[in-house]
Amino acid sequence: MHTTFPRLMLEHAAKRPAAAALREKVFGIWQTTTWAELAVMVRRLACGLAHAGMKRGDHVVVVGENRPRLYASMLAAQSLGAVPVPLYQDAVAAEYAFPINNAEVRFAIVEDQEQVDKLLELRAQCPTLERIWYDEARGLRNYSESGLDSLDALVAAGQAHDAANAALFDEEVGSCRPDDVAALFFTSGTTGNPKGVVHTHFTLLDRAGAGARFDKLTENEEVLAYLPPAWIGQNIFSYAQWLACGYVVNCPESVATTSIDLKEVGPTYYFAPPRVFEGLLTSVTIRMEDAGAIKKWLFKHFMALAQRVGPTIMDGNPVGLLDRWHYRLGNLFIYGPLRNTLGLSRVRVAYTAGEAIGPDLFTFYRSIGVNLKQLYGSTETAVFVCLQPDHEVKADTVGVPIEGVEIKVDDNGELLVRSQGLLKGYYKNDKAAAEVLTPDGWYRTGDAGFLDATGHLKIIDRAKDVGRLADGSMFAPKYIENKLKFFPFIKEAVAFGDRRDQVCAFVNIDFEAVGNWAERRNLPYAGYTDLAGKAEVRQLVADCVEKVNADLATDRRLAGCQVSRFLILHKELDADDGELTRTRKVRRGYIGDKYQVLVDALYGGKAEQFIETQVKFEDGRTGAVSATLKIVDVKTLAAVRQAA
């Protein structure tokens, strides 16, 4: 699209002034902002920022949950030619220091007192940070720090500045060009300082438009914006495509009410990383464990049918008349109510991305009638590279290259991508950009994969993570981990095995699911560490691991990846402790180094190992968690011969 975000917003306001643009739930009631109201808000905010000294090319940090005035603030900054830099709202203060200093940020717009406190804490480390505005005033009445003010005050100043400079806003918007920088997204920094990915209006809108055309998105879609705005996936779905299509973005009241708000909104277009779909399935499993015998039998009976014929029906392929009638009955009594309970009853298109999804988990949703599809992309590609067409959905692929995308595989098996949506570069890091961008315009994804005979892309793993066992057979840790996480009792898994003679794993139990399981068996426990150390829980997890091994034994290439030994970690892996990225991806190398004593115990034949670990609490305090972890040996199976 040869336009800019502010121009698109103004076009919607001119063509559909009374149509809903944004909704926000406040004190349990949905409040609507129309396109006309949004245009006025953006104009006043932009004029207020101009009055405060914001200039073209300045960077402005935006931190908070999805909130209409934070969206309007990003549009206001872009209207002046400034660059929004969204940061993760759940990050600790220290994590903001590098992005703020790297981008020489002068201005910050945040949601509430929590974010204000973090930025005030950093002022000595970030001398360029001059002004901070906040959306939610609760708790900030007695703050008197210089440069701190409310968005209400900014809007009021903007209204006065607009009255005195009536042509300012229109002139600034008119001077913005599609190839101007529109946003700066900092990567999760799994191997060092995060890198600032520079995107223009054109790169983001080009991919947003291509994705919208692929799935025939219209202004009639409803979207729930509940993931961090700093993640480019959320930014594309609820910002770039929102402005490209003009549909309605709904902002939940809080993280705690997201599941309730999901049911109330009933989105037609839904996006979530695998961990969200895992959590939804876990909640279903817990509820069914507490159901009566008849309900349990009905659920088990119809889910077995759904697993067998549901995906076939979803893909529009024929099934027997009896099976189709039987499935309709299941839809009436089980699948329909289940979709409604999950908040997915109106979904026309649902996508998952961010990391690989387990095929069993993926198939579950499609079997109950949710049009869940996979996409492939990254921050550097403005998300949309491959999408799955309706009726061509496969659990083991991530779709076909969409409009404007070229893909090739180099001699090492790494995927290279070329499209109009590639990053302009890494901010102040030409060396890193030169490592991923070839002279002829290809982006090195770092993923290993290939295009199958039907043109669908199959991702094996991160190229650097795919290894070999000591016997030379392939070791794909993410594939194993995803299979383990399909079980509701397993929240996270970390597999080891590269250049070793067997595969071993760390496991995090799902505290809610396993806690519910324990309570129904009158098994007392005092917190996560105590529950994880129970012999009964180790056996529960061992049963899950052995089922994964039985499944792996049927895959000739991955039969050698069966898990031989595992242990249940004494604490949950946490982004605040550096073990996960802010998008909850496992930092396998960091975890291996941090818990080297446990890795050595797994491969040294030990039956148990003592470990003490320092942890960070939400209030900033530190403490220690210690336990003697038991190591469990599990059965592995001989590879099953497959028919030629």
C-alpha 383/C-alpha 375 separation (Å) is 8
293-302 b/e with 16+ CB inside 10 Å = b? Answer: eeeeeebeeb
pLDDT bracket for residue 620 (50, 70, 90): low
Around Cβ 259, how many Cβ atoms within 10 Å? Answer: 16
Paired with 374 in beta bridges are 352
Q: Name 341's Cβ contacts closer than 8 Å, sequence gap at least 6.
A: 263, 284
Nearest to 229 by CA among 64, 451, 108: 64
Q: What is the pLDDT of residue 308?
A: 94
* DSSP structure class, residue 391: T
Tell me whether residue 128 is in a domain.
yes
C-alpha 604/C-alpha 138 separation (Å) is 55
Query: What's CA 542's distance to the chain center, in Å?
Result: 29
Q: What is the pLDDT of residue 190?
A: 53
Q: How many domains does the chain have?
A: 2
Q: What is the pLDDT of residue 463?
A: 75
The answer to whether 468 and 474 have CB atoms below 8 angstroms apart is: yes
Tens digit of pLDDT for each residue in 17-46? 999 999 999 999 999 999 999 999 999 999
Q: Residue 613 belongs to what domain range? A: 467-633
The torsion defined by the Cα of 382, 388, 390 and 391, in degrees rounded to 10, comes to 180
Tens digit of pLDDT for each residue in 143-168? 999 999 999 999 999 999 999 999 99
Tell me whether residue 243 is in a domain.
yes
**pLDDT exceeds cutoff 70 at 619:** no
Question: According to the 3-state scheme, what is the secondary structure of 72-128?
Answer: HHHHHHHHCCCEEEEECCCCCCHHHHHHHHHCCCCEEEECCHHHHHHHHHCCCCCCC
For residue 66, the one-letter residue type is: N
Query: What's CA 559's distance to the chain center, in Å?
Result: 30
Tell me whether residue 219 is in a domain.
yes
Tell me whether residue 562 is in a domain.
yes
Q: What is the pLDDT of residue 479?
A: 82
Mean pLDDT throughout 221-230? 96
- Mean model confidence pLDDT for the chain: 93
pTM of the model: 0.83
CATH number at residue 538: 3.30.300.30
Q: Which of 271, 305, 325 is the last residue of a domain?
A: 271
Tell me whether residue 286 is in a domain.
no
Tell me whether residue 86 is in a domain.
yes
Q: Which long-range contacts (CB under 8 A, 24 or more apart) does 388-394 make?
A: 388/456, 389/214, 390/316, 391/315, 391/316, 391/317, 392/315, 392/454, 392/456, 393/311, 393/314, 393/315, 393/366, 394/456
Tens digit of pLDDT for each residue in 368-408? 999 999 999 999 999 999 999 999 998 888 999 999 999 99
Question: According to the 3-state scheme, what is the secondary structure of 16-34?
Answer: CCCCEEEEEEECCEEEEEE
Q: What is the pLDDT of residue 618?
A: 65
Tens digit of pLDDT for each residue in 266-311? 999 999 988 889 888 888 888 888 888 999 999 999 999 999 999 9
Q: What is the pLDDT of residue 486?
A: 79
Tens digit of pLDDT for each residue in 461-477? 777 778 889 998 888 89
Mean pLDDT throughout 476-495? 89
The answer to whether 463 and 478 have CB atoms below 8 angstroms apart is: no
Mean pLDDT throughout 510-532? 94
The answer to whether 206 and 404 have CB atoms below 8 angstroms apart is: yes
pLDDT bracket for residue 644 (50, 70, 90): very low
Q: Name 324's Cβ contacts closer than 8 Å, sequence gap at least 6.
A: 309, 313
Q: Which of 256, 271, 286 is the last residue of a domain?
A: 271
**pLDDT exceeds cutoff 50 at 643:** no
DSSP string, 313-348: HHTT----HHHHHHHHHHIIIIIHHHHHHHT-TT-S
Reported residue count of the chain is 644
Tell me whether residue 490 is in a domain.
yes
C-alpha 177/C-alpha 280 separation (Å) is 42
Tell me whether residue 319 is in a domain.
no
The answer to whether 493 and 481 have CB atoms below 8 angstroms apart is: yes
* DSSP structure class, residue 586: B
* DSSP structure class, residue 239: I
For residue 498, the one-letter residue type is: D
Q: Which of 271, 290, 309 is the last residue of a domain?
A: 271
Q: What is the pLDDT of residue 462?
A: 76
C-alpha 132/C-alpha 31 separation (Å) is 26
Return the minimum-mean-pLDDT range out of 1-10, 241-250, 284-293: 284-293
CATH number at residue 26: 3.40.50.12780
